[in-house]
Every structure is written in structure tokens, then in C-alpha cells.
Amino acid sequence: MTPDSVRISTNKGELDIPLIHRFLAEQSTWARGIPLRTVERAIDNSLCFGGFQGLEQIAFARVISDYATFANLVDVFVLPHERGQGYAKILMSAVINHPSLQGIRRFTLATTDAHGLYAQFGFRALLKPATFMERYDPEVYRAGQDT
């Protein structure tokens, strides 16, 4: 398949929730062990982007936003057997150009290995990292605190 054959949709009804859950829970580095119900709630409360070849979902991204001042990009992936074909760029272009995400003052994300991809879309290291704080519990899914 070529990048031209990929269709991006924000219709949550098209999303393959079991596939998304399986990838996040079993293959991601950031959400290992995440419960299905947590994934479902996250999708329900986010702007989601599915990448499809025909009816088969091959990519996903999720944006958490107030649609006015802030957005956070999370859970971005292309299935391993589909990587290296430009699909991540197509997915990111759809995210960045979505009408509901225009005029956002701060658009954030966290990544351990895709800085080059995101830099192509204007993301950079935090301008003032000392101003950011977080509460982070990487064990929350294993501890059964979020089911």
C-alpha cells in the first residue's frame, strides 16, 4: 500500500478499540498493562484519529484538549508491520491541521524516540521546562488503581 491509500478519520465509531487496547497494553512503552475500560474512557473523552487502509486500522493518535488554549497529543502509534511508509507523517498532518485544534496556545506531547517526526510539525523541547510539573505514576495500571 502507498501513503495515498491511508485514510484518516476522527469518527470514533470506526475505531478498532480491541486493536488499540492490545497495542497500548502489550506493545507500547508508555501504557503497558492499561485496562480496556481505561482505554475506552480515554477515547470517549478525547479527539481521536484513526489511520485506515480500507477497513483495517493501522494507526492511531489521541488529543486531549479544551479546544481553545491547550492540547496534549498522546497514544500515537503506527502498527509495527506498517512503519517506515510515511503513515506517521500523514497521521500527524491530520492532527495538526484539524479545525478544532487551530489557535491552540500550547500543544504538548511526550516522546522517548520520535523527536525527529514531531519536530517536522513544529514541536520542540520545552521552552521553560522549570515551569512544568507533573504527577506521574508509571505503576498505576499494574497496581489496579485504574480499572
Is the pLDDT higher at 103 or at 4?
103
Q: What angle do CA 30, 33, 35 make, to 5 degrees?
A: 110
Q: Is 115 inside any structural domain?
A: yes
Q: Is 15 inside any structural domain?
A: yes
Q: Is 94 inside any structural domain?
A: yes
> Could you list the residue range(s) of the whole structural domain that residue 104 is in?
3-131
CA–CA distances in Å: residue 85 to residues 91, 94, 95, 126, 138 = 12, 16, 18, 29, 31
Alpha carbon distance 120, 102 (integer Å): 17
Alpha carbon distance 91, 67 (integer Å): 19
Q: Is 139 inside any structural domain?
A: no
Q: Is 114 inside any structural domain?
A: yes
Binned at pLDDT 50, 70 and 90, residue 4 comes out as low
CATH number of the domain enclosing 86: 3.40.630.30
CA nearest to 5, candidates 90, 74, 64? 90
- Per-residue pLDDT, averaged over 25-44, amounts to 96
Q: What pLDDT, on a 0 to 100 scale, did the predictor assign at position 147? A: 47
Q: Is 144 inside any structural domain?
A: no
Binned at pLDDT 50, 70 and 90, residue 142 comes out as confident
Predicted TM-score (pTM) of the model is 0.92
- Per-residue pLDDT, averaged over 126-132, amounts to 93
Number of separate domains in the chain: 1
